[in-house]
Amino acid sequence: MPSYKAPIDDIRFVLEDVLGVERVSMLPGYEDATPDLLTQVLEELAKFAENELQPLNRSGDEEGCTFENGVVRTPKGFKAAYDRYREAGWTAVSADPDYGGQGLPQVVNFVMSEILSSANMSFGMYPGLSHGAYEALHQHGSDDLKALYLPRLVDGTWSGTMCLTEPHCGTDLGLIRTKAMPQDDGSFAITGTKIFISAGEHDLTENIVHLVLAKLPDAPAGTRGISLFVVPKFLARHDGTPGPRNGVACGSIEHKMGIKASATCVMNFDGARGWLVGRPHGGMRAMFTMMNAARLGVAMQGLGIGEVAYQNAVQYAKDRLQGRSLTGAKVPEKAADPIIVHPDVRKNLLWIRALNEGSRALGYWLGMQIDTALKHPDPTARQEADDFVALMTPIAKSFFTDYGFEAAVKAQQLYGGHGYIREWGMEQFVRDARIAQIYEGANAIQALDLVGRKLPMHMGRLLRRFFHPLGAELEAAMEDPATAEMAGQLAKAYGRLQQATAWVAQKGMGNPDEAGAASADYLRLFALVAVGWMWMRMAKAAAAKLPTANGNAAFYDAKLKTAAFFYARILPETSSLFAAIMSGAKPMMAMTADQF
């Protein structure tokens, strides 16, 4: 059975030493969110995740959710754990105090997402979906809708869903067929079938709030004709308590590769009463509010699995005695050496570790930028932060989930045959991690979002939020002996990214297939430069701490060594990505469809 300890020291290093999280508490409204308070929250959350959620992860996978007569049951222990989660206030952490929230910064959500995903990714889906529904209603709902739904989503007695996909359309939501017929009382009758609805039906909460994409009778074709509705499982009585059942029911649950304790539902809407959220035909905008939050949550799932996979792989590599070091026995008194003596074992561990820590720094930084975008008094600062988040969201979603899956595979591989056996738990990480590359926009869609929407947006303005500060930091880092070598290497990779960017922009203008052909490799190149940037910052912070670290010197020294590993063994991938990008679309487009 795998184990998990929340990496509190690593998290605090990133927040405090690298990103300067105390700046968040200087934003209006976040005055209480001092680093000390954040540490307290973090320690409480760590305890809860380690003691209450992680022990349910294997059993939840084995038992799965069950479906009978329209009722979905979560695995043993989930309901009790959810009640404690809710009662401890975890559903309210970053929510608006006007609706019962604790008003903590959004960056806390990123830490929570990571830790929940490490401990029990399936469990984390339920509050995660509620958070998306909360965001959509909070930003786009009328005052009446907010007054009814938000306090209950915030205190966790009700949960939320996002009902987007239909059997014939996922990526291409312009094709949806679910209809919304206006009723005399201002509500709408929603009819249609939605699939792949996470938390669509379950036994954790007294009500479920569906955010549903549907088309009004006068809707224009395509995505411009989509509207968003809120459709509760139980219609609320005047006092807000759940009343009669609404016309929405779960038709079945999916049998999936993983996240088996998360109920993935077919939801049938049969004239269900719903209320419009936002403008008629304005559903795509509201949906993106949910989607962007969800995409970053999914990114953190990749990191969360990467972290727990790493911890268990390290433990096994230290425990498993097998063979001898190539340079002679290291533990001659035992029958064999632990396998951590082998360079290839270490290579795989360091690969996971370097990407976990680099992604953590990038992910939490994104969280802080969201806080800046929400709360900074200067509109320019808000705009710049918002640009940065828009640019980096597809990169984080795609890259974190791709490497997170690869991390789970590498960690499983270290276990040899035991890694393939269910009871060891490593193969569950692989199966669970796999979905994160697929849902909330498959990773290829993220890459198209990056090259097709984010790069050209506002004449390349978003891009400058990344290129300008990186360029400035690189120049400074070249002057600092602690980072000069890294800065030189990163500058080379950054040069490739700049060249590739110009190439994609120019070629893509003439022929969009050229941008499409480059997109996935370009996104990965971008992500590696971004993670390299974070490692340069982490190396700088660790080097600054080291001279006075005393008992903690090994910790900061390990940061420097992991940075060196990233630059030696991972960053070089940028050279082959660059070559692949530059080879253009022809190798793909030359084949006729019949030739495949």
CA 138 to centroid of chain Cα atoms: 21
For the bound state, the minimum distance from the C-beta of residue 137 to a copy of itself, rounded and expressed in Å, comes to 25
Residue 526 CB, shortest distance to a copy of itself, in Å, is 15
Q: CB of 68: closest distance to a copy of itself in angstroms?
A: 19
Quick one: DSSP state of residue 6?
Answer: -
Burial class (CB in 10 A: 0-12, 13-18, 19+), 2: buried
Binding segment for a copy of itself among 284-292, 339-347, 359-367, 377-385 (CB under 8 A)? 339-347
Separation of alpha carbons 308 and 429, rounded Å = 8
- Amino acid identity, residue 152? R
* Region near a copy of itself per CB under 8 A, out of 369-377, 381-389, 541-549, 572-580: 572-580
Which helix (H) or strand (E) is 127 found in, with range?
helix 106-140
Which residues are bridge partners to 197 per DSSP?
Answer: 265
438 in contact with a copy of itself (CB under 8 A): yes
Is 592 an interacting residue with respect to a copy of itself (CB under 8 A)?
yes
Residues 484-513 that bind a copy of itself (CB under 8 A): 511-513
Residue with tokens 């996979």: 309
Q: Does position 587 bind a copy of itself by CB under 8 A?
A: yes
How far apart are the C-alpha atoms of 365 and 385, rounded to whole Å?
10
Q: How far is the CB of 504 from a copy of itself (least distance, A)?
A: 12
For residue 321, give the DSSP letter: B
* Strand pairing category for 248-253 and 264-277: antiparallel
H or E segment and range at residue 172 = none
Q: Is 590 in the site for a copy of itself (CB under 8 A)?
A: yes
Segment 240-279, which members bind a copy of itself (CB under 8 A)?
254-258
Q: Which stretch binds a copy of itself (CB under 8 A): 30-38, 358-366, 491-499, 574-582?
A: 574-582
Whether 514 sits among the annotated catalytic residues: the reply is no
| Residue 170 interacts with a copy of itself (CB under 8 A): yes or no | yes
**Of 1, 37, 181, 326, which lies in the binding site for a copy of itself, with binding defined by CB under 8 A?**
326
User: In the complex with a copy of itself, which residue's Cβ is closer, 174 or 182?
Assistant: 174
Directed axis angle between helix 512-545 and helix 553-565, to 10°?
150
User: Which of these ranges, 40-48, 443-451, 465-473, 479-487, lies near a copy of itself under the rule CB under 8 A?
Assistant: 443-451
The reply on whether position 553 binds a copy of itself by CB under 8 A is no
Contact between 527 and a copy of itself (CB under 8 A)?
no
Active site residue: 52, 357, 440, 514, which one? 440
Q: Tell me the per-residue interface mask from 295 to 324 with a copy of itself, x by CB under 8 A, - otherwise.
A: -------------------x--xx--xxx-
Does residue number 433 form part of the binding site for a copy of itself (CB under 8 A)?
no
Per rule CB under 8 A, is residue 515 in the interface with a copy of itself? yes
Token pair 């009669």 is found at: 244
Pick from 165, 301, 398, 501 the residue near a copy of itself by CB under 8 A.
Answer: 165
Residues 6+ apart with CB under 8 A from 487: 474, 477, 478, 480, 536
State which of residues 274, 419, 463, 537 lies at the interface with a copy of itself (CB under 8 A): 419
Closer residue to a copy of itself in complex, CB, 185/333: 333
Question: Judged by CB under 8 A, which stretch of 74-82, 229-237, 290-298, 430-438 contacts a copy of itself?
Answer: 430-438
| Residue 427 touches a copy of itself, criterion: CB under 8 A | yes
The SS3 assignment for 235 reads: strand
Out of 47, 76, 224, 422, the residue judged to bind a copy of itself by CB under 8 A: 422
**Shortest Å, Cβ 7 to a copy of itself:** 13
Q: Given the complex with a copy of itself, which of 549 and 564 has the nearer CB atom?
A: 564
Interface residue with a copy of itself among 423, 484, 488, 495 (CB under 8 A) is 423
User: How many Å from the N-terminal Cα to the C-terminal Cα in the chain?
Assistant: 44
Residues 103-132 that bind a copy of itself (CB under 8 A): none
Nearer to a copy of itself, 235 or 336 (CB): 336
x/- letters, 195..214, toward a copy of itself (CB under 8 A): xx------------------
Tokens of 485: 């070598």
Residues β-bridged to residue 273: 189
Does residue 448 interact with a copy of itself by CB under 8 A?
yes
Tell me which of 435, 477, 500, 534 binds a copy of itself, using CB under 8 A: 435
| Strand locations in 186-226 (E) | 188-198, 207-214
Cβ-count burial 34-65 (b if 16+ within 10 Å, e if not): eeeebbebbeebbebbbebbbbbbbebbebbb
Q: Please give the single-letter amino acid code of residue 47.
A: K
Q: Between residues 260 and 376, which has the closer beta carbon with respect to a copy of itself?
A: 260
DSSP β-bridge partners for residue 194:
267
Q: How far is the CB of 314 from a copy of itself (least distance, A)?
A: 5
- Which residue in 3, 8, 4, 21 sits closest to 541, CA to CA? 21
Q: How far apart are CA 264 and CA 286, in angstroms?
A: 22
Q: Which residues contact residue 20 at a Cβ distance below 8 angstroms, ignoring those fewer than 6 apart?
A: none
Tell me: does residue 76 bind a copy of itself (CB under 8 A): no
Please report, for residues 52, 168, 254, 527, 579, the alpha-carbon distance to residue 263 in angstroms, rounded to integers and kept in the order given: 20, 21, 8, 32, 42
Q: Which is nearer to a copy of itself, 187 or 348 (CB)?
A: 348
Helix (H) or strand (E) holding 566: none
Residue pair 536/473 in contact (Cβ under 8 Å)? The answer is: yes
362, 292, 307: which is closest to 15 by C-alpha?
A: 362
Instruction: Considering only residues 347 through 366, tell me which ones interact with a copy of itself, judged by CB under 8 A.
Output: 347, 349-350, 353
In whole angstroms, the minimum distance from the beta carbon of 316 to a copy of itself comes to 11
Q: Which of 55, 282, 452, 456 binds a copy of itself (CB under 8 A)?
A: 452
Near a copy of itself by CB under 8 A: residue from 237, 344, 458, 495: 344
In angstroms, rounded to a whole number, what is the distance separating the alpha carbons of residues 564 and 547? 19
Which residues are CB-neighbours of 216 under 8 A, at least 6 positions away? 180, 182, 188, 225, 227, 280, 281
User: Of the ranges 97-105, 141-149, 377-385, 550-558, which one interacts with a copy of itself (CB under 8 A)?
Assistant: 550-558
Contacting residue, 171, 183, 241, 552, with a copy of itself by CB under 8 A:
171
Give me the active site residues, please.
Answer: 440
